[in-house]
Structure 1
Amino acid sequence: MKVKKISAVLAVCLCSAMLLTGCSFSDFFDKVLGNVSEPETSSSSSSSKQESAEVKTVDPTLELPAFTVDLTGTTQVTAGSVCTLSAPAAVSDGGTVTYQWYKNNVNSNGGGTIIAGAEEESYDVDTSEAGTTYYYAVATNNHGDRIAKSTSAVREITVWPLGTWQQDEVGFKYVMEDGTYPADMWIDIEGFTYHMDSEGHRAVGWYQEGDYMFYFNEGGELQRNTTTPDGHTVNENGVMIS
């Protein structure tokens, strides 16, 4: 008898609660059991609006950024050397230029991998591991939600493993553990720039390449921003200017 009375009281309470809340039977139990999802908060709604506002549209009428430095070429360095690439670009229409660097395993300025955090006009290459990697930059002209993009040329960076200087009857070579050595190239080794001839010997004294003259000291290091022993002046790139 008591059970019947309790059931009747519960039924009356449930009906009253449903009438007061205006819920259907299923809605009421959803609320009781916690199955009703919370309405979207104003902050999440605001976030969605911000994401929508950040969508950029490529505008073919905008000025394309013009790179002022040509990245084309090859750089040879040894592991751990400092190697900085620079690809400044400019626009004249009042836009803001932003950058993104990419790396690739083939000599192409398309289809590369984004380098996380490399968003300045200059980029310090990771030279911790030996191998060849190709780098390029994309410059973007930003006008509010409108953009125009340009892609730079490709720079090939070859990182050589550390080796040792070995002397023969001709001069010095930089020889790796496996017996190979850089030849017929410019290469940065432990902070200094050298030029190796076709046999792998480092240049000493004056060396001509095209229309330019360069001076290397007795240790084979390229001289910059100085006066050579014979009275000539070389600039920051090591080129003789007087």
Structure 2
Amino acid sequence: MSKKKTLFIMMGSLLLFQVSSASGQIYKYDELDRLTSVKYDTKDEMVYEYDAAGNILQAQPKVSVGNQKIKTFTADQENGGAAKEWNSFLSPNAKGTFDIVPLSKIRDEPGGKAEDRPVQKLELESSPNQKGISIFRDLQVKEEQEQSLSANVKTENMEHAKAQIVVNFYDETNKLLSFKTLYDTGKANDWERVEADYTSPRKAVKARIHLQIIADGDDGKGVLLVDQAKINTPS
């Protein structure tokens, strides 16, 4: 290989990375000088996707396919009561609220521990049949990948409704491939440990985790509390 060609490759590689020492952020660019990702000093990373014409299609957080710890529900005042990095949904004609509450304010703490960590609370005040309230979060997966979910869950005042944890699987075109219900109850239960295994289907690239209360009759209502949710992927 000639010296000129070697130099060109080295310079081309250098164009893919820029580091801002002041902020601790790492910027990555592709061969067309388009921003592809920003990695923050918090270890979070935002990735950017473009179409063939160079128009940006989406910008979203990158999540490792390894052990994906989502056990800390961080409050976000601009997220309508849903935890940071989670999306909230309330069906039309349904009434409900999202909230992050300190564990110390909830009676009968899981394990009897005095830790004052944040807990995600969903309250469905009233809802038509088959409607409800939900928060969800997308995680990257590989096809036919074994995973497991664990969480502490408590339900209160359940009437004509079911509290559920559901995972949906999507392919690269965002087509729904399948889903699996990991937790389902229509009763008021004290804190219980939920542990469920599942395997992503072929062609799956994304798993969407739903924490939700769905009415199974007229005027459905109830409360769902979730603490220390965690996704595990075998190495």
Q: Same fold (TM over 0.5)?
A: no
Larger Rg: 1
Q: Say which structure is richer in helix.
A: 1
Q: Which of 1 and 2 has higher RCO (CA within 8 Å, sep 6+)?
A: 2
TM-score (norm 1): 0.24
Q: Say which structure is richer in strand.
A: 2
TM-score (norm 2): 0.25
